[in-house]
A and B are shown apart, each in its own frame.
Chain A
Amino acid sequence: MNRGPLIVGHTKPATETHLSARPEHSADSPLSVHALTVAYHRRPVLWDIDYDAPANQLIAIVGPNGAGKSTLIKACLGLVPRASGQVEFWGRPYRQARARVGYVPQRESVDWDFPVSALDVVCMGRYRKIGWCRPVSRKHKAFARECLDRVGMADFAKRQISQLSGGQQQRVFLARALAQEAELYFMDEPFAGVDAATERAIIEVLRALRSQGKTVVCVHHDLQTVAEYFDHVLLLNMRVVAAGPVREVFTPAHLHQTYGGKLTLLTEAAEAVGRAAEGERQP
């Protein structure tokens, strides 16, 4: 864990070679993260992340609030700038792998009073295949309807999205990701604040995806369901505490390490750097 740069900021990635050339990463892996560091306002939130996601598994990213779980996903997808590090998908940069990646953002990240129907939102998952300036054809609409049906929302296709319950909105987002027809899915807290029926619907869809050979990476906050729902877990608290099959990694010792009240040396160091950066800006 000491490969990463100690000073965060505008450090260039140590190497530009493909990660698959490194012994610890493989081109078969749908997602390889190497020495990833992310900072918000120069305060580090992710520190030297190294991770290879196994293919065809349901993967949970677990950790306390502010551990950088969502940030990890967003940094992988290029939504937040990386201070350093590399991310590759099947041994390629994100630009070249985009068509194979699907995304379910946090439900709270959008304004649900937007004037569109549930079906319209799901159709957005088809836009990439439709292309610029062309309307949504009947064929794509039918596919979107099918995706809504797979999450049990076929009856709500015409409903304006603000008139859906939180769980139904989450299912609409999931249907939109299904409409993307990706091989690797990133989902940001898909189980947050949903009702029991939605939770069951979502986990059924995730299992169906796995049986189709796809990989799903979920930010997850409910420790009780990790073992039941997921195959693989990444315990995160600014850095990777442990990663691997749930049975091996999801242990009390690791959990204590992840959630433990005491600051680790690294967090303390990071805070010190953050404070220094602050002081530098406002002397």
Chain B
Amino acid sequence: MSVGDHTSANVGARTTLTDVGYGWPGWAEVLEVLLFRGGFNTSVVVTGTTLLGLAAGVVGVFALLRKRALMSDALSHATLPGIALAFLLATVLGFDGRSLPVLLAGAAATGVLGVLTVQLILRHTRLREDAAIGIVLSVYFGVGVVLLSVVQQRPAGNAAGLSHFIYGQTAAMRAGDAWLMAGLAAVAVASAALLLKEFALVCFNDAFAAVDGWPVSKVDLAMMALVVLVTVAGLQAVGLILVVAMLIVPPVAARFWTDRLGWLVVLSGGLGALCGYLGAAVSALLPRYPAGAVIVLGAGVVFVLSMLFAPKRGVFAVLVRRVGLRVRIATDHVLETAHLQEQELLRDDESPHSGDPTNLLTEVAAERRWPWWMPHVVRWRLRWRDEGRWVRGALNLKPAGRRRGAQVFRNHRLWEQYLVSYADIAPSHVDWSVDQVEHVLTPVLVEELEAALAERGVPVNAEGGGA
């Protein structure tokens, strides 16, 4: 493993001994790196991390769905003693202690041992999983740190590169490593494509899978093996502390955008690749920032954006839907009240000012305990949908508004009568308040309600429906 600084030497051509500032690269330079033209080493690093991101994103979906996110963290932390031990062993036996395959083999060995330790603790004690993972994670990491200092005190071996595995050193990636990442990505994509159905079954309902005759532990083992592969391969690039982020953040972010497992795998792999690509590119342009952390930061940004702005599950989408429903219900209340007042006016037209229309909005607002902003929004919505217009403080119903008011009134009646006449079963069907249901009834449901009531011989009071 070479612990050089090729990337910065290559890209940051203006870097001199006296230049200690964080210089920003020009557009041409940015484009060069992004288009894989920033020199051989930079291209290798960018390609390698992109492929690693792809593999981690795909594999991470199953780790997440199997609720193994924290387990992966224990695994990655448990690799540190293995790295130190492998180095010690190799040096004692007279090999090059810093050869990457040897170190990664050691990392995989103790990583797996860490996972097995967690399982062992879970099986033989009553500790919960979080506690078991916490113990294994910290103790193995502690052992690793101690072993590292032992290694560094030895006069024989130069162990300067080992601590790079903690935070990662992407720039050290060579062409052979990029090929390794390519192979890894191929394995991850192929197993996800071939075993999607088996993985999904075990992740969703392992007890059912076992009863159905699937070898749950073997499928689990396959998923875990993929996680181990990605973790170990990612050690060099992003380091053992952050590698878990590459496994977990892309699928979590992708989950906001889709409800389908197939798409989740595709999106997560894509997001992982994108983060790897951008992270490595940014760090090639700004060589003072460690690539591993930049990749994870990029993933974090993607996650936050997904959480906030995803169309269905995103925070804002949920908020908009909730507020929208409240506004719709509030408007419906106004229209219903206006409709009732009109009916009253029609009935006894001698007293045209019986209901005071000026106070309609304040009246409903007080009765329904609206927040302060609601009357304004309702006013705006009425005008926007052309349901009513405010003329000098009084509501002039338009035909559309009149229809809606009558409809809401009728739905209200229908629902009430349904609840009364089906009191035996209705309560278990309904977990919304009556007040909300009447606003969300679809035409189909209204028909069903009418049919159900007709079946029981309940006269549907359609008095308000004449519009």
Contact = CB atoms under 8 A, between A and B. Distances in A.
Interface of A: 41, 74, 77-79, 98-99, 101, 103, 105, 109-111, 114-117, 120-121, 124, 127-128, 130, 132-136, 160, 176, 180, 186, 195-197
Given A128-B214, A132-B195, 13 more contacts: A78-B210, A79-B207, A79-B210, A98-B213, A105-B205, A115-B65, A115-B264, A130-B197, A134-B197, A135-B197, A136-B197, A196-B425, A196-B428
Contacts of A135: 197
Contacts of B261: 114-116, 120
A103 B212 contact: yes
Contacts of B126: 41
Interface stretch (B19-27, B79-87, B176-184, B252-260): B252-260
Given A110-B204, A116-B204, A135-B197, A101 B425 contact: no
Q: Nearest 5 CB-CB pairs, A to B?
A: A160-B259, A196-B425, A103-B211, A195-B428, A98-B213
A272 B95 CA distance: 60
B194 interface: yes
A133 B205 contact: no
Contacts of A130: 197
A70 B261 CA distance: 30
A185 to B, nearest CB: 11
A144 to B, nearest CB: 13
Given A128-B213, A136-B197, A196-B428, A105 B208 contact: yes
Contacts of A111: 67, 204
Given A114-B65, A197-B425, A124 B260 contact: no
A124 B213 contact: no
A278 to B, nearest CB: 11
B90 interface: no
B211 A101 contact: yes
A197 B428 CA distance: 9
B200 interface: yes
5 contacts: A77-B210, A79-B207, A98-B213, A110-B205, A127-B212
Contact of B195 (A99, A101, A133): A133
A77 B258 CA distance: 35
A197 B429 contact: yes
A150 B303 CA distance: 41
Contacts of A128: 212-214
B29 interface: no
B248 interface: no
B406 interface: no
Contacts of A116: 200, 204, 260-261
B201 interface: yes
Contacts of A114: 65, 203-204, 261
A132 B429 contact: no
B198 interface: yes
A229 B65 CA distance: 37
Contact of A105 (B201, B203, B207, B259): B207
What is the predominant secondary structure among interface residues of chain B facing chain A? Answer: helix
B211 A77 contact: yes
Interface residues of B, number: 29
B429 A124 contact: no
Nearest to B212: A128
Contacts of B207: 74, 79, 103, 105, 109
Contacts of A74: 207
Contacts of A160: 259
B211 A127 contact: no
A124 B205 contact: yes
A265 B424 CA distance: 43
A129 to B, nearest CB: 10
Contacts of B255: 115
Nearest to A106: B207
A127 B210 contact: no
B126 to A, nearest CB: 7
B65 A124 contact: no
A134 B193 CA distance: 10
Nearest to A200: B425
Nearest to B126: A41
Contacts of B210: 77-79
Interface in B88-127: 126
Given A110-B204, A130-B197, A197-B425, A117 B212 contact: no
Greatest chain B CB density within 10 A among A115, A120, A136, A186 is at: A115
Given A77-B211, A98-B213, A133-B194, A115 B259 contact: yes
Nearest to A128: B212
Greatest chain A CB density within 10 A among B67, B212, B214, B258 is at: B212
Contacts of A186: 211
A180 B212 CA distance: 9
B213 to A, nearest CB: 5
Nearest to B194: A133
A114 B214 CA distance: 20
Greatest chain A CB density within 10 A among B205, B207, B208, B259 is at: B208
A225 B86 CA distance: 65
Contacts of A176: 208
A196 B429 contact: yes
B271 to A, nearest CB: 15
A63 to B, nearest CB: 21
B428 A79 contact: no
Greatest chain A CB density within 10 A among B126, B259, B260, B429 is at: B259
A217 to B, nearest CB: 13
B122 to A, nearest CB: 12
A170 to B, nearest CB: 13
Given A115-B255, A160-B259, A124 B425 contact: no
Interface string B209-223: 011111000000000
Contacts of A121: 204
B214 A127 contact: yes
